[in-house]
Structure 1
């Protein structure tokens, strides 16, 4: 269903072979990020001057979608790695670009976003969970000391990683965004969280106790401005996961239902809706409109999640009772659980709907005295 194939055949074969195992935590998880790097996917949309292959962020979105057609676990890790690369590319520290980009782009070094909490903070959903204070150590007088934690971070590869996080700099100062290496004293990674699916996504929690951070590992001193600039890429690439999963379910539905007419109309309508949403996402990201107008991007994320749910329901209808027989509907049970993840990945649909409602309430004119303001829809 994609017009341009970005996945080389060896990676495609590997994903098809290991998709179920990666979902259930029994796959070759350590190979995943290096294989994405070997396939050149991590370089898409990165300037060639920085080691990338040029193109646009739209190319990265499409690549994530194509990976998600075969494994949402792989696409989720891909999103985490590529999003962290985006943070470094757009950050304020040339030293980090020089130090980390070469191995991030090959997949030798794992990058974790860690900014889900920050995105919720930006939408006034929750407070920042890491506090920072100046480092007053006489031997290392610059930089910061960090305390706090992150309850859910993906792509925390056990062999090593770097993670981005927003930190509270104290009263009167904007939050900053920093990058933290896994080897830092005081940084603790928990065991992988007990997910019901996507188990090889290396998702765990982080705890920080008096972690010393060098000054050159600050990605942005004005975190809110930086987060607004990178949010379109963060969410746009996240939408690629939904696009790919919906494509996979629709393709399986067509293969299962054959020429039966009862499902042809809803399948065709859903395919058209998906194509239109994908085109709208690509156009909005390319134009840069989402940097100043986040609501349309939130609405697209919600709409795409709805298309995923409808697509897997159609696949179930097309497959019928065979969907409940092991080995009779390859990939269906995995896609069903993958689809259940889409509404809850941060920012969740509930959080996005609440933010849209808040924005609409702020934009609505005050009702005249004695009248009630109209109810606010939550999309």
Structure 2
């Protein structure tokens, strides 16, 4: 799964990581830069305009971005998830219409499916409804937290509960659909240049050609492994960077940390191998609990990794200038367990299945 970034992109992200976190880098510069490097095409079949490979290759790409900037990786995750929805949709006409611009990064893709992933696990009701009106659908509801809501253009996937009964459906809404209202950017503690905001959806009329999946409960179990695995890429990349920083720190007494750093690196590698194996075998489709447990394990590993970086760096990590990168990674680590579905929500779902994590 090891995948690096083009050197110019890695340098660009490294030079701007603090600005991306603080909101000083315009968000509309980031996704096009990732798209120009071909990152959205990785793991997408060549027949659909991608560069080939498997979903795990996409995980590796997100991990490589997260080593430099978790905010940029979060944007790539949301975008790559929407791309995956297009790859897996039975609506081939919608795919052919949207996928070229998405793969190139000309239009942002936003995954608004956190709500339905929790709905699928029995954690909360759907927050969006759809009612038929002639040949069209009229959509109403809210999406309280969505990333990649780019002012220059975005598509967002939303799960809608049909007013006339039947299974929930997944629809694609556009930034310029009348009735789609984006809030101001959310006042996050970090990761400010990620175009993260809320959406209010009021009387949005769309044609049925915008339906990504007509039967969400039947379609989503096949998509969920990619959704969560790509999300795991953020934790993998951040943990690797923190462990590299810890291992690279010299100084009196730091040698005592070599053994725990090596042990945690081995745990990380083993967890990544299990993620790879589960994706390759397709077992996560019918055994989602195993994937939930890996997502939780990676969240725990991230916290241990940044703690080792802190111990290795000592007081330098608490000084404003030399500790700047560490302070950002500490905030980034605090974000990992609350990415929806959060580790608490995943533990709740596992408890309902009779498993503990």
TM-score greater than 0.5 by the shorter chain: yes
Q: CA separation in 1, counterparts of 2:53 and 2:8?
A: 23
Secondary structure (helix, strand or coil) at the match of 1:310 reads helix
Q: CA separation in 1, counterparts of 2:308 and 2:6?
A: 29
Q: CA separation in 1, counterparts of 2:72 and 2:26?
A: 11
Partner of 2:259: 265
Following TM superposition, by how much is the alpha carbon of 1:48 offset from its aligned partner in structure 2, in angstroms? 1.0
Q: CA separation in 2, counterparts of 1:272 and 1:42?
A: 29
Higher mean alpha-carbon deviation, 80-89 vs 168-177, is at 168-177
Contact 1:257 1:263 in 2 (8 A): no
Contact 1:167 1:175 in 2 (8 A): yes
Partner of 1:289: 283
Match of 1:149 among 139, 142, 145: 142
Equivalent residue runs for 1:124-139 within 5 Å: 124-136=122-134
TM-score, scaled to structure 1: 0.92
Equivalent residue runs for 1:165-244 within 5 Å: 165-170=158-163, 172-244=165-237
Secondary structure (helix, strand or coil) at the match of 2:130 reads strand
Partner of 1:342: 336
Q: Which runs of 5+ in 1 are unaligned?
A: 137-141, 361-376
Following TM superposition, by how much is the alpha carbon of 1:38 offset from its aligned partner in structure 2, in angstroms? 0.9
Secondary structure (helix, strand or coil) at the match of 1:53 reads coil
Cα 1:3–1:63, aligned 2, differ >3 Å: closer, same or farther? closer
Q: Deviations over 1:156-212 (max 9, x none)?
A: 111110000000013540000000111011110001000001111111000011100
Partner of 1:24: 22
Following TM superposition, by how much is the alpha carbon of 1:3 offset from its aligned partner in structure 2, in angstroms? 4.2
Contact 1:245 1:339 in 2 (8 A): yes
Following TM superposition, by how much is the alpha carbon of 1:378 offset from its aligned partner in structure 2, in angstroms? 3.5
Partner of 2:152: 159
Partner of 1:86: 84
1:318 matched to 2:312: yes
Q: CA separation in 2, counterparts of 1:98 and 1:295?
A: 34
Q: Which runs of 5+ in 2 are unaligned?
A: none
Q: CA separation in 2, counterparts of 1:344 and 1:44?
A: 26
Q: CA separation in 1, counterparts of 2:195 and 2:250?
A: 36
Partner of 2:118: 120
Aligned length: 356
Q: CA separation in 2, counterparts of 1:192 and 1:19?
A: 19
* Rg (Cα) greater in structure: 1
Secondary structure (helix, strand or coil) at the match of 1:213 reads strand
Contact 2:3 2:61 in 1 (8 A): no
Partner of 1:65: 63
Q: CA separation in 1, counterparts of 2:267 and 2:87?
A: 33
Contact 2:254 2:312 in 1 (8 A): no
Following TM superposition, by how much is the alpha carbon of 1:145 offset from its aligned partner in structure 2, in angstroms? 0.2
Secondary structure (helix, strand or coil) at the match of 1:331 reads helix
Following TM superposition, by how much is the alpha carbon of 1:86 offset from its aligned partner in structure 2, in angstroms? 0.3
TM-score, scaled to structure 2: 0.97
Following TM superposition, by how much is the alpha carbon of 1:62 offset from its aligned partner in structure 2, in angstroms? 0.3
Contact 1:197 1:337 in 2 (8 A): yes
1:378 matched to 2:356: yes
Contact 1:92 1:218 in 2 (8 A): no
